[in-house]
């Protein structure tokens, strides 16, 4: 067993190392597809376990997850980090290190998945039950689909790489159309939904795949509108079907307490459909490094070292919580005077003495988390990238579809489950603006709001631009008496326009592959 585990880790390490500079780097299969591995169901489980964490996810989780999802969208801001300020001010260039890291990380994950899929197909013997083989393939395809979905959101037309070994003879590739990228992701998720189990703690399930599939279909549905028009009804229906399956057939329920979602004792709870798996003791850019964003001192740090790269809520995000949404606000962002009994619990809890700061993902000390080897760079929070609450909101949006509002009983029921969990009164009808705001506050600091703005831009670009340009993308202070004072802007913000929702291809990738600047081509399915 130890030898096989070492082989699995070597597999992961070589694959990641082989993809360290660009997605065009080819993992050397001769080194990682060992003949004595992939011989049993347990071998396949070890191989796919490596897909849920590690270096490619760690760099993305720290460098891209919050800066792209939250800073770019106007929820948060980071000062003293020039590349993050570029996101905040809509002045992103092809040399922006955050966007370069996002591109590289997604293609590293894709390469890792591709190698795993190829090795299972070629090395796994017939003695392994077909359901176990297909289950392992399904895990890899789910994660590959997640990566392609992110690439499509950020760059639209991107290369679809299904077999990295083909790059040996043809290393320069064209981009494929964004429609085909979404179709490819959907095909992977359909396979995953068919072959994943209904339960598998810490790993993706058929409900994870169907939830992610509903998300892909909901976003893809807007492409036909080309910025201004109705969404594709067939794709909306598909989003409704798969989200509805999760809502009605999974047997899953929301966690009762919203704040518990972000505590390590509730890692991989029933609401978590896809979460990254992290262990304590990892080094720089190897583990979950989100606690580096902590606004507090050493008393709520893993190893006596305070957070040193604070990310702060904007005044625009703060405004979204006015009107009684206090449970989610306190679990998402800290304001001066907030008390958290779960942080520094052995010392009597923690009272925040700063002005504003991030609360989600800030989990406290080693003692708070029963993790004696946890460090500032290896939080044990399994941060969820897809939650049941989001699928509830996707279902409500898919039911509403191209209408401006709905009183559909099912849509209202699942929407109100999210709302009442937050301590808010249920609504009797639902409109697009209410749903958009609900997603923003429910999922704030979880990397989703930029995705929501891009999705909106597909079918109502003027509205998406207006939302960005009306934001108060400034920091603020909050004193002991609850007085809020607006601060200064972090830079001159370029007004959002039709180019804002699509990033320039990273300059190093263009240098390595000039074909990335040529017109995209259809993918051969």
Q: State how far the Cα of 455 lies from the Cα of 411, in Å rounded to an integer.
A: 20
Percent of the chain whose pLDDT exceeds 90: 87
pLDDT class of 103 with cuts at 50, 70, 90: very high
User: What's the average model confidence in pLDDT over 448-458?
Assistant: 98
Position 31 scores a pLDDT of 42
pLDDT for position 29: 40
Q: What is the pLDDT of residue 34?
A: 55
Q: Tell me, what's the pLDDT at 11?
A: 43
Q: What angle do CA 266, 342, 332 make, to 5 degrees?
A: 75
What are the percentages of helix, strand and coil residues in the chain, rounded to 5? Answer: 50, 5, 40
Q: What CA–CA distances, in Å, run from 155 to 151, 287, 436, 499?
A: 6, 27, 23, 11
> What's the pLDDT score for residue 13?
42
Q: Return the number of other C-beta atoms located less than 10 Å from residue 169's C-beta.
A: 6
Lowest mean pLDDT segment, chosen from 30-34, 177-181, 226-230, 473-477 = 30-34
Which pLDDT score, from 0 to 100, does residue 169 have? Answer: 87
| pLDDT at 14 exceeding the cut of 90 | no
> Rounded CA gap, 107 and 150, in Å?
10
Output 310 or 423, whichever has higher pLDDT.
423
Q: Which residues in 319-475 belong to E strands, given as ranges?
A: 333-335, 339-340, 350-351, 356-358, 384-387, 405-406, 430-431
pLDDT value, residue 4: 34
Tokens representing 281 are 């003791």
Total-model pTM: 0.94
H/E stretch holding 456 reads: helix 449-459
Give the whole-angstrom CA distance, residue 84 versus residue 473.
13
All structural domains of the chain: 2-196+507-517 (1.25.40.390), 278-381+470-494 (no CATH), 386-469 (1.25.40.900)
């Amino acid at each position: 067993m130890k030898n096989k585990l070492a082989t699995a880790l070597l597999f992961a390490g070589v694959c990641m190392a082989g993809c360290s500079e660009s997605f065009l780097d080819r993992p050397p299969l001769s080194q990682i597809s060992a003949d004595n591995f992939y011989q049993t169901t347990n071998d396949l489980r070890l191989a796919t376990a490596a897909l849920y964490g590690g270096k490619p996810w760690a760099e993305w989780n720290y460098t891209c997850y919050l800066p792209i999802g939250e800073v770019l969208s106007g929820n948060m801001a980071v000062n003293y980090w020039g590349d993050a300020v570029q996101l905040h001010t809509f002045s992103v260039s092809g040399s922006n290190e955050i966007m370069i890291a996002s591109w590289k990380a997604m293609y590293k994950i894709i390469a890792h998945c591709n190698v795993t899929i190829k090795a299972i197909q070629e090395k796994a013997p017939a003695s392994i039950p077909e359901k176990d083989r297909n289950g392992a393939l399904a895990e890899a395809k789910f994660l590959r689909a997640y990566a392609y979905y992110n690439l499509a959101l950020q760059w639209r037309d991107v290369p679809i790489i299904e077999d990295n070994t083909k790059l040996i003879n043809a290393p320069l590739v064209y981009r494929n159309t964004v429609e085909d990228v979404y179709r490819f992701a959907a095909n992977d998720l359909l396979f995953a939904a068919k072959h994943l189990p209904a339960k598998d703690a810490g790993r993706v399930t058929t409900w994870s795949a169907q939830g992610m599939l509903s998300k892909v279909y909901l976003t893809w549905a807007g492409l036909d509108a080309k910025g201004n028009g109705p969404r594709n009804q067939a794709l909306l229906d598909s989003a409704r079907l798969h989200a509805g399956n999760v809502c009605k057939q999974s047997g899953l329920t929301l966690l009762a307490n919203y704040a518990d979602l972000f505590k390590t004792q509730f890692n991989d709870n029933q609401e978590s459909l896809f979460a990254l798996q992290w262990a304590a003791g990892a080094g720089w850019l190897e583990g979950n490094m989100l606690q580096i964003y902590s606004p507090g001192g050493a008393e709520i740090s893993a190893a006596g070292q305070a957070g040193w790269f604070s990310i702060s809520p904007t005044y625009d995000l703060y405004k979204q919580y006015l009107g009684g949404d206090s449970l989610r606000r306190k679990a998402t962002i800290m304001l001066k005077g907030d008390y958290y009994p779960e942080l520094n619990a052995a010392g009597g809890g923690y009272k925040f003495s700063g002005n504003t700061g991030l609360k989600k993902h800030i989990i406290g000390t080693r003692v708070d988390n029963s993790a004696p080897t946890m460090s500032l760079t290896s939080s044990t929070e399994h941060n969820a990238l897809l939650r049941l609450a989001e699928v509830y909101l996707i279902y409500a949006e898919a039911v509403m579809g191209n209408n401006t509002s709905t009183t559909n009983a099912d849509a209202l029921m699942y929407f109100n489950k999210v709302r009442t969990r937050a301590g808010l009164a249920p609504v009797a009808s639902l409109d697009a603006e209410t749903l958009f705001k609900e997603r923003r506050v429910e999922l704030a600091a979880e990397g989703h709001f930029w995705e929501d703005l891009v999705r909106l831009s597909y079918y109502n670009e003027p509205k998406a631009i207006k939302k960005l340009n009306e934001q108060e993308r400034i920091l603020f202070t909050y004193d002991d008496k609850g007085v809020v004072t607006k601060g200064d802007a972090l830079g001159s913000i370029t007004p959002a326009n039709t180019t804002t929702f699509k990033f320039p291809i990273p300059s190093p990738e263009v240098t390595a592959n000039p074909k990335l600047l040529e017109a995209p081509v259809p993918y051969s399915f």
